Chains A and B, each alone.
Chain A
Amino acid sequence: MAAVVVLAGAGTWTAVAAGDDTPAVHSADRVMTVDGVRLDTSYFTAGGTGRRPAVLLAHGFGGSKDDVRPQAEKLAREGYAVLTWSARGFGRSTGKIGLNDPKGEVADVSRLIDWLAKQPEVRLDKPGDPRVGMAGASYGGAVSLLAAGYDDRVDAIAPEITYWNLADALFPGGVFKKLWAGVFFSTGGGAARFAPEPAAMYERVAESGAPDAAARALLEARSPSAVADRIKVPTLLVQGQTDSLFTLAQSDAAAKAIRENGAPVDVDWIAGGHDGGDLEGDRVQTRVRTWFDRYLKGDKAADTGPAFRVTRTGGVDSTDGAARLRGASADAYPGLNHGDRSFPLTARREEQSFANPPGASPPAVSALPGLGGGGLAQLSSLGVGVSLDFPGQFAAFDSAPVAGDLRVTGSPTVTVHVKSTSDTAVLFAKVYDVAGGGSQVLPSQLVTPVRVEGAKAGKDVTITLPAIDHKVEEGHRLRLVLASTDLGYASPTAPATYTVSLKSDLSVPTAPAVTTAAAPLPSWVWWLPLAGAAVALALLLSARRRTAGPAPDPALADVPLLITDLSKKYANGDRYSVRDLSFRVDKGQVLGLLGPNGAGKTTTLRMLMGLITPDGGEIRVFGHAIRPGAPVLSRVGSFVEGAGFLPHLTGRENLELYWRATGRPAEDARLEEALEIAGLGDALARAVRTYSQGMRQRLAIAQAMLGLPDLLILDEPTNGLDPPQIREMREVMIRYAAAGRTVIVSSHLLSEVEQSCTHLVVMDRGKLVQAGPVAEIVGSGDTLLVGTAAPVEEPVAEKVAALPGVASAVLADEGLLVRLGPDGTAQHLVAELVRLDVPVTSVGPHRRLEDAFLTLIGGSA
């Protein structure tokens, strides 16, 4: 036994990439000499000095130890001592590729285990026998199986997408898998990098296009199947569904053999494979780790997963267009022939003949190694086919439409009778899934090649079709196709005619025990909407509490409006728009709310309508406190700050819809009365957007009067009206109040309120200036302005003031301002003035209110 010699060693602490709780991984590169071959190795450990199980990670064909470094570091952090190495002929290791020669690559593994046994942190089962597991994909998976067979110190293995019998893999059915074999050998670096025996074997077979017995013997001797009865360790077999190189049949053979030896075996069919597709790296690595946790660390609680798991495609992920994968699992591995169902291939059951073209060209197309074949193969599970058969080069046998969904899991089988014009016939058998429209897909793009010797005489052949996991939709047909060529394989180049006929039904395996797991929905799907509903509820409930108002006051039931200490400051305003405003309006009054622009009239009315909320104070209408949407507002009609109509509707529709929006009976509206006040005539049938300002104004006032509200609020109602209409409006208001209702009119124009109002509230800069009956504010008696041709002298004015019936007389700009006493009349005054030689040109009533107003709001103008 050759000893391992460490030639050079160098240790480096790798940086910690993840969080603080992730232990740093120590990696040391060493070159070891085994049997004259220098092996490039890396050794990974993390945290502590305690003894731990070891894991040997092997790389795939054409790769090097660097490929498995991320997985090694992860395993090291999980508490394993991990050794990786570049196999002979790969990376920086020397030596020739021996295709996992028991005396070469497999022996190397034993030397590495020797080395591991000497490491202080590696747990030992007994001296020289470390607790060690092996994992790797493809070429590395095979060496794991082989090492478990040749070295009984290996305690658990997890080979991925690898072969059990390399002869079966490269020469299936006695047919040379030329495309994949070529890729395999050229990836190795050509003949020069190979050991002489395999190099010669490949050249011989590739040239002849047909494998010989010696080639088979060489590959079988170097395959795990050669030590089938000696692999007795727990084995996790991960195999690819889109893998025309190492098919599911390979892992099936391995699973059977190892289970026969009494070791636990789990089988996991991943979506991808050598043809491409999703290798599910993260999931597989996690499963491999739990496998080692269970069988190396001895952690009985570690969940190694189901005995059989298959990844199924659940359609396309609409968020990124990727295929959606789902796991289906069973408590037992069903094998490839479980639960067979028979499908008679009824359509065109008779004998069919087809040609093998000279030169075997053009070939049919199925799987394409390295050409994105995996992506294409995966599409087959979505119902897209890219396979190709040339007319005249194949026979097809269809089943009846499938009743109910059919899930094929395993290898269908069929027996056919083959006759050929040549001695040797090579057929490629495949089962298509044919949709109702005639489009067909080849599940996983896989075919089974069959070499039939002595076909001239005719021969019955039982064909085991490719193992697949594929769902056939209801109504689809199964189509058995036997073709004479395939791009991936070497077939006879001599022209021939093949004649085939069916000897049996198509037997299709199903594994009903394998059930698809429910789609894994993240938990937030449930709690997020609930949390959203809770937040929404909290938002609504907390708002509702704040809008509750005080109780109604029965004492004020007949008081249309009582405003107490009302204040409002807009959020973006710098001063109070309304400050400590208090006034009262009684039934039957026409109240004028008078003040210059900006006095706070409109703000007060907005609060009165519940449109804005006061900062302080209270508004009561008929005893009910006003808050947004207070029901008592149904007794209030309002026209504030101009009209508000839906421009696309006619005047009449607007009023009708407004009334319907109040929810009150149509007969209470008094629509016709209101429309009469608006006086719009034919214009009522026109869209409001065509109205003039005055027309909208009148329509809006009509709207305010709909239902004859007990309290009518009109804000600047005469804006935009012409004089006759203004006069008419005044009369409307006076009549309205005379019927026992109450009207509030706001205006900045004195003339408007003076002539129609009974009471006044004068506001300025948000404050109440004066409130009371018009007469009270105006004062008693009549004031006359006497216009004179020339300015009047002061002594004359005094004389006038002394006249009987005259209370006072003062000089004004254009003449004399005379207030008559209780017994004075204008006629007497004029007569007396003429007697005093006052050049009278006119006598008229003086706007006393205007004076009062200006005096009251003094200085604001």
Chain B
Amino acid sequence: MKKNLTHLQQLEAESIHIIREVVAEFDNPVMLYSIGKDSAVMLHLARKAFYPAPPPFPLLHVDTTWKFRDMIEFRGRMAQESGMELLVHVNEDGVKKGVSPFTHGSALYTDVMKTEGLKQALDKYKFDAAFGGARRDEEKSRAKERIFSFRSANHRWDPKNQRPELWSLYNTRVKPGESIRVFPLSNWTELDIWQYIHLEEIPIVPLYYAAVRPVVERDGMLIMVDDDRLELKPGEQVEYKSVRFRTLGCYPLTGAVESEADTLPEIIQEMLLTRTSERQGRLIDHDQAGSMEKKKQEGYF
């Protein structure tokens, strides 16, 4: 009897193939682990690719020092469970200069703590391939990015000079100093990710589930008061609301949504019935038109 693979089985197989190809062809790969739901799926796929062995590469988290506390705890737990080495890199220059989302604005803060931090870490460990959890459906400039996306020695992406990518034959050749960003989830959509988490029972950070949390309303977004570094502006007031997060990043830049969805099916239900895309909760995409494309050319993930 003919057995056709479902769409999730096909996506899974494609991702595992990509992850194995990187390990077979690169000397020093790393998996960028952002602790979010896409990273959770990517890590799960890596574990499947090499089972019964642990994935033969480390996890790297570029820590801006402003991540939610729940994320940091979850990060340690998953590294332990997967048996993988966890590397955490902080841009110490940025910390010394006191760069924070409050004092320097989201654009400069992201550039220093995320983009610069990432480049420092890649240079420090001399990784020649870095897995990222980005998806093509997230943002228009990503729709044209390759699965194996070449970066120059100074980490730049050149959208006009990408290598053609055919079949599942990936060009993995780099010269010393150059690297490739690899996106195993390129062809997944947000719905695919959630369905797969549901089907495979993949653990995710509790912040995705609704709970009563302290928040303030700022610039039209609900910002969670995750620690005492969040200084209240005049007129702002901490309220306790049942909220959850559709996407996770730095807590001062990540908007919560009011929600009662505290199970996975309810989250998916809410997502399916909603009318706004997930990146809306991120301040950095709103800065300017084509902002993601500019950031990517400069080396942002």
**Do chains A and B stick together as partners?**
no
- Measured CB to CB, the residues of B under 8 A from A are none
